[in-house]
Structure 1
Amino acid sequence: MFDQQKKASLAAWHKMAEQNEADLDPEQQYDELLKAADEMEQQGLITSAEWRQLVRNAGNVFTQDQEKTPG
């Protein structure tokens, strides 16, 4: 049960990370990714190391979105 919940939560996180900027504002997407990572850590689904990796990944998603946005 625990492993299934962890896999489902991580899959949902990755799906959100892969959404393009037409679906979500990049800052909103980043915030939602961080909230989801926080919730998974608080529920004990992921370790602090896994949480840090998700936060790094969220930052990478945000940075890539910012590079795509014409400035």
Structure 2
Amino acid sequence: MFDQQKQASLAAWRELAAQTQDDPDPEQRYDELLRAADAMEEQGLITAAEWRQLVRDAGNLFTHNEEQTHG
């Protein structure tokens, strides 16, 4: 059960991250990704290391989207 919930949560996070490509407000999507990562950590679904990786990934997506928008 726990593994299924973790996998489902991570899959939902990745789906949300994938939607950032066409997002008119990348900052809002970045915030949503961080909130989702925080919630998973608070629920004990992911470790602190996994949380840090998700935050890094969200930051990379945000930076990439900002460069595309303003670059």
When normalised by structure 1's length, the TM-score is 0.93
Structure 2 unpaired stretches of 5+? none
Which structure has more helix as a fraction of its residues? Answer: 2
Instruction: Label 1:54 to 1:20 Cα distance change in 2 as closer, same or farther (>3 A).
Output: closer
Which 5+ residue runs of structure 1 have no aligned equivalent? Answer: none
RMSD: 1.3
Deviation of the 1:8 alpha carbon: 0.2
Q: Give the superposition deviation at 1:25.
A: 1.0
Task: Report % sequence identity.
Answer: 70
The number of equivalent residue pairs is: 71
Partner of 1:28: 28
Structure 1: 4+ residue segments shifted above 3 A = 20-24
